[in-house]
């Protein structure tokens, strides 16, 4: 089995939804701390409605997002610093609870973790995907 991840940085909403549908995704787990975007179609309410219209579920797990200092580090290209901050955040009980929820969703449906960055290697969603895949014995599929 595979766990999908997708970043919308350089894509339109229609392209992202097309990729999700082509991959057979049933549920998008939004792993942004703040589910708002300057990119058209990617703020929580509109994204959720558009995904639902396409037959894809949506859930926002805010605690799986990178805290503001980590996002700031990522914007500066300090990926290692972002990873450190994110790992420290993920020991919090709320984050652990939402990681368990994400893993449970993945057991039940074809899931995609959604975040902003086009390059999965520079995004915290890859850390999350690795943890979930280690738990389930699955592979990561970056869309």
Q: Are 23 and 112 in contact (CB under 8 A)?
A: yes
- What one-character DSSP code corresponds to residue 25? -
* Whole-number Å distance between alpha carbons of 103 and 21: 21
Burial of 134 (0-12, 13-18, 19+ CB in 10 A): exposed
* Whole-number Å distance between alpha carbons of 107 and 66: 24
Chain centroid offset of residue 142 CA: 11
- The percentage of residues in the chain with a pLDDT greater than 90, rounded to a whole number, is 92
Domain ranges (residues) in the chain? 2-142
pLDDT digits (tens, 9 = 90+) for 43-86: 999 999 999 999 999 999 999 999 999 999 988 989 899 999 99
- CATH fold of the domain at 2-142: 3.90.190
pLDDT digits (tens, 9 = 90+) for 4-14: 999 999 999 99
pLDDT of residue 46: 96
pLDDT of residue 38: 87
pLDDT band at 135 (very low <50, low <70, confident <90, very high): very high
Q: Are 128 and 113 in contact (CB under 8 A)?
A: yes
What is the phi-psi region of residue 77: left when phi exceeds 0, alpha when psi lies from -120 to 50, beta otherwise?
left
Give the ranges where the chain is alpha helix by DSSP (H): 13-22, 44-53, 68-75, 79-89, 93-108, 124-136
pLDDT of residue 74: 87
């Amino acid at each position: 089995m595979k766990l999908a991840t997708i970043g919308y940085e350089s894509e339109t909403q229609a392209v992202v939804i097309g990729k999700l549908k082509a991959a057979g995704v049933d549920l998008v787990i939004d792993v942004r701390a703040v589910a708002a975007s300057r990119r058209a179609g990617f703020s929580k309410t509109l994204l959720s409605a558009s995904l639902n219209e396409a037959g894809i579920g949506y859930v926002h797990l805010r605690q799986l997002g990178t805290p503001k200092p980590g996002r700031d580090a990522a914007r500066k290209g300090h990926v290692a610093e972002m990873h450190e901050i994110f790992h420290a955040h993920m020991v919090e009980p709320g984050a652990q609870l939402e990681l368990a929820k994400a893993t449970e969703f993945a057991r039940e449906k074809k899931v995609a973790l959604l975040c902003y960055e086009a390059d999965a290697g520079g995004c915290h969603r890859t850390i999350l995907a690795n943890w979930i895949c280690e738990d389930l014995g699955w592979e990561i599929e970056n869309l």
